[in-house]
Amino acid sequence: MSALIVVNFKTYESAQGESAVSLAKAMAEVDASTDATLVAVVSAFDLSSVCAAAPKLKVWCQHLDPIGWGSNTGWLHPETAISRGASGTIINHAEHKVEHSHVEKLIDQLPEGFPICACAADVEEAHSLAALSPTFIAVEPPELIGGDISVTTADPEIVSGTAAAVKASNPDVRVLCGAGVKNGEDVAMALELGTEGVLLASGVTKAQNPLAVLRDLVSKI
């Protein structure tokens, strides 16, 4: 399987609305020129416009809720997201934590083949989430998120340790890492430490030249 470069748009002003569309187009351009797979994780508000602008790019939600139709004000219904082009989701991000029961119910509700990436703060949480069989687990130490030092440099043991723990628990789960990832060297190190890709945000969304950064991220794969 190809390495994954998953870019979380979060609610950065530089990655919302028309800016989200522009960034998604840049990602689609790089995705078409590399063996890696790029994934845009966008605001629910931007799902339709991003998917329409970059139809070949994989576009995920930033969160979904395991709910049915009816009285669920403010929650995000999976089928609504899918109908607007979502082809995957992350869940339990450090900035939007949920109970593991929420993750389990969501996995049960999502259609077969719809990828879900469960985020973990450490090896212990990653091991626990692996038992639920998400498609991916992304380990991200919260203290390094948005920082200038990649987790692959600041704490390589948590990356290799997570990869080992998850594969020992559930070899079908693919492992990603994130927090501070900014360049191709960080991606190459992540792969060397046993992951199958990275989850990042500000390194792309706040860049002066996102296209150049995206090209660099895949340059050593």
What residue type is 170 in one-letter code? N
Mark whether 140 is an active-site residue.
Answer: yes
C-alpha dihedral sign at 67, 107, 129, 95: negative
| Active-site entry in 63, 77, 125, 140 | 140
Supply 119's token pair. 């985020």
Q: Which amino acid is at 140?
A: E
Residue with tokens 């296209």: 211
Residue 146 and residue 26: Cα distance in Å, rounded? 21
Range 114-146 burial, b when 16+ CB lie within 10 A, else e? bbbbbbbbbbebbbbbbebebbbbbbbbeebbb
Q: Pick the catalytic residue from 77, 93, 125, 127.
A: 93
Residue 212 amino acid letter = A
Residue 185 bears catalytic tag: no
What is the amino acid identity at position 131? A
Each residue of 87-111: b (16+ CB within 10 Å) or e? Answer: bbbbbbbbeeebeeebbbbbbebbe
Rounded to 5 degrees, φ, ψ at 191 are -65, -40
Query: What are the residue numbers of the active site?
Result: 93, 140
